[in-house]
Amino acid sequence: NGGYSAVSVLEYVDYEIVQNNPKPFIGFSDITNFHSAFYTKTGLVGFHMDLLTYSLGWLWNLEDFSNKEIAKELFVKALTSPEPFGDLPQITKWESWRTGKAKGKLFGGNLSMLSTIIGTEYFPSVTDLEGAILFWEIDNADLYRIERCLTEFKYNGVFDVISGMIVGKLPDMKKLPFEGIEHPTAKQLVLSILESYNFPIIGEVDFGHKTANVPMFVGLEASMDSDNLKISVLESALK
C-alpha cells in the first residue's frame, strides 16, 4: 500500500522465498523499494501499476477521477493476459521531450525512492542497467529535489548506459525556494540536467500519483518511439 517505510524492511526479506515463489507484486510510490530489490536480487518482474487500496479504492471515490473504466481494464489485463501487454494507451496527452527510439528492459518507479537505494545491493548495477529504459514519477516535489535525484543518477553512471527515459505525471510541483528568478518547468529542468545525453524521452505518461496508471513492468522488454509517442511492452509479465 505505499507509504514511507518499505526501505527499512528490505534487509529482513527472505529473497530465496521470493525467488522460489514468484507472484505478481503490485504497487507504486514506496513499493518502488520492493520492486527494485526483488528484481535486483531475484529477477522478479514488478507490476508498477494501480493497486486496490489506493487507486481502485480511495482515488476511485474522488469526484474528479474520470478514468475508472480504463483503470479497471488495465488492472485486469495486467493480471490475466498471458500475451505480451502490447501498446500502452494514451489516457491523457503525452509529450515528446526528446525524439528518438529505444528498446530495452523497463526499470524504475518513484524517483525519491530510487534515489534512496541507488548504489546499494537493492538497486541494479550499472552493468545490469545497460540498455534499459528508465521510467520515473514523483509527487508533490520541489524542483530542486528532482534535480538532486537526477544528479545522483548521473553521478552513479545510470545515464551513461540507459537507452531511453519515460517520465510519468508530476503533480503538485513546487517552485525553487528563491524569489526574483525565472522558475524552470519540470521539462526544462530535466532536459538541462540531461543535455549531454541523447537518449529519447517521453514525458507526461499516465503513471504516478493522482492518475490512472498504465502498467510499467519492471524487468520486461519494451520499446519506445518518442516521435510517435508510442510505448509497447513486448513480453508478458505472467510466466
User: Where do the DSSP E strands lie in the chain?
Assistant: 25-26, 46-48, 86-87, 95-98, 101-110, 133-137, 164-167, 201-203, 216-218, 221-225, 230-233
In a domain, 238, yes or no: no
Q: Say what the pLDDT of residue 1 is.
A: 47
Q: What's the whole-number average pLDDT of the chain?
A: 91
**pTM for the structure as a whole:** 0.93
pLDDT at 220 over 50: yes
pLDDT at 172 over 60: yes
pLDDT in tens, 223-234: 999 999 999 999
Domains contained in the chain, number: 1
Lowest mean pLDDT among 64-68, 151-155, 190-194: 64-68
In a domain, 169, yes or no: yes
Contact (CB, 8 A) for 89 and 49: no
In a domain, 239, yes or no: no
pLDDT in tens, 49-68: 988 776 666 666 665 556 77
Other beta carbons within 10 angstroms of residue 75's beta carbon come to 21
- For residue 176, the domain's CATH number is 3.50.30.60
pLDDT in tens, 69-95: 888 889 899 999 999 999 999 999 999
Between 220 and 145, residue with greater pLDDT: 220
In a domain, 120, yes or no: yes
Domain of residue 38 covers 6-233
In a domain, 43, yes or no: yes
pLDDT at 127 over 80: yes
In a domain, 1, yes or no: no
In a domain, 81, yes or no: yes
